[in-house]
Amino acid sequence: MALENPVYEDLMNGYDQNLDRSGIKGERLAKRLYELSKIGYTQIGGVRRPGLSDEEKEAKELVKQWMAEAGFSIIEDGAGNVIGRLEGKDNAAKAIASGSHLDSVPNGGNFDGPLGVLSALEVAEAWKETGYVPEKPYELIIFTDEEGSRFNSGLTGSRAMAGDITEEEIQQLRDYNGENLEQVLEHYGSSLGAFKKAKRDVSELELFVEVHIEQGKRLEQENQPVGIVSGIAGPAWLELEFTGEAGHAGNTPMIGRKDPLVAAAEFIHGIPDFPAQVSGTSVATIGKMEVFPNGINVIPEKVVLHADIRDIKEETRDKLLQQIKQYAEEVAGRRNVQLAIKQNTKIMPVPIEETLKRKLEESLNGLGIKPVHIPSGAGHDAMVLGRYIPVAMLFVRSKDGISHNPKEWSSLTDCVYGIHALKDFIENAMKD
């Protein structure tokens, strides 16, 4: 009988079976990616698993079953983060951790997040297959709501674990249904009190390493399956609300109108010119817009925009952030509309230690892979932990650089190369 979606068959097609060694099995990874792809499946081949949703919870419960079978002891904190632990030879030592997330953007792909979770799990499966006992404890962490599609404020789980969410932000958070965090948590099966208790002493971890798809084309250009992340850009998210006066589209003269959509359009048009004025690595994007009341024959009363501003250096990112705020104020003044700006997220960029990058190079060299160093423009849970402990990241080649899209794809061969690199890196780190 044909599968309802082709993820498993497409992954197995062309897979290099020679990579099935040292306890790692490509088919096991393919089956698990396929099983996850069915949760929140969309008819055009993507997935919809918002953070703290029924779909995200179902995906976590499935992976928790696999984790238990692999020998992990498992807890889930009040923020929805799943933490699995394997004991090592020296259980007094700090743990080395790996993982990622299972939530998605509204119509995302099957690799962003799940690949990192399943790669970390496959390392443990390989140890079980070969009877290997790690030198130190090993943790697999599934962070909740990394993408931010629930609250327009991402990295919720990792920031809760690190204690980086303020009381003010907790009170301000509203999801796409208008529900506050307390209501969302209660539906999920947690509570606001339990969420606040999710903070842990992350210094209990010696190191966190995350595998992720590249979300770019550098590895394709270099014809390499896996690369090394040289640094992680820090995202800052702004919510800009332009407010004018609603009116009848036919009876209101053009002169004297206070149209917030015209102001918003002018603002959006100017945004692409700003990043290059600051640095060669900064970016700015308007990815979401809401118009109220959104009627064809009504001059809008209010327009809400969401801006995503990033750079790998905090100084230049914040300079760009300030320039964009100032520009929004100038446009609002010219167009005679009101402007309110709210900052939903501001995460520090995270550099990767040189010693860790050298160790990743050694692991890639051992696999015959030329080390390619790539800055990450996307935010990751690793960057939150990276404020407190050393972190490292590996990128797996993305077909055409596509991500956050049903066409997102990494070959099974490339994915398994990533797992071999992760396993070697962790085992070497355990010896230090």
Per-residue pLDDT of 164-195, as tens digits, reads 999 999 999 999 999 999 999 999 999 999 99
Q: Is 295 exposed, middle or buried (0-12, 13-18, 19+ CB in 10 A)?
A: exposed
Amino acid present at 43: Q
Residue range 36-58: average pLDDT? Answer: 95
Q: Tell me how far apart the alpha carbons of residues 45 and 31 are, in angstroms, rounded to a whole number.
A: 16
Give backbone dihedrals phi and psi of 99, rounded to 5 degrees, phi first: 150, -165
Pairing, β 73-76 against β 338-346 = unpaired
Closest by CA position to 160, among listed 139, 138, 143, 174: 143
Closest by CA position to 81, among listed 106, 64, 105: 64
- Does the annotation flag 380 for ligand binding? no
Which band of pLDDT confidence, cut at 50, 70 and 90, is reported for residue 3?
very low
Q: Which of 191-195, 213-217, 259-263, 374-378 has the least mean pLDDT?
A: 374-378
Q: Report the first-to-last Cα separation within the chain, whole angstroms.
A: 50
Has residue 132 got a pLDDT over 50? yes
Average pLDDT for the chain: 95
Q: Which two tokens stand for residue 302?
A: 């209010």
The CATH code of domain 235-346 reads 3.30.70.360
The pTM assigned to this predicted structure is 0.82
Q: Tell me how far apart the alpha carbons of residues 61 and 189 are, in angstroms, rounded to a whole number.
A: 13
| pLDDT tens by residue, 202-255 | 999 999 999 999 999 999 999 999 999 988 888 899 999 999 999 999 999 999
Which band of pLDDT confidence, cut at 50, 70 and 90, is reported for residue 56?
very high
pLDDT in the model for residue 4: 62
Residues of the chain within CATH 3.40.630.10 domain(s) are 7-233+349-430
- Does the annotation flag 112 for ligand binding? yes
Residues 6+ apart with CB under 8 A from 280: none
| pLDDT tens by residue, 95-122 | 999 999 999 999 999 999 999 999 999 9
Question: Does residue 293 have a cis bond before it (omega within 30 degrees)?
Answer: yes
Q: Which CATH architecture has domain 7-233+349-430?
A: 3-Layer(aba) Sandwich (3.40)
Residue range 350-378: average pLDDT? Answer: 94
Has residue 371 got a pLDDT over 60? yes
Residues of the chain within CATH 3.30.70.360 domain(s) are 235-346
- Does the annotation flag 147 for ligand binding? yes
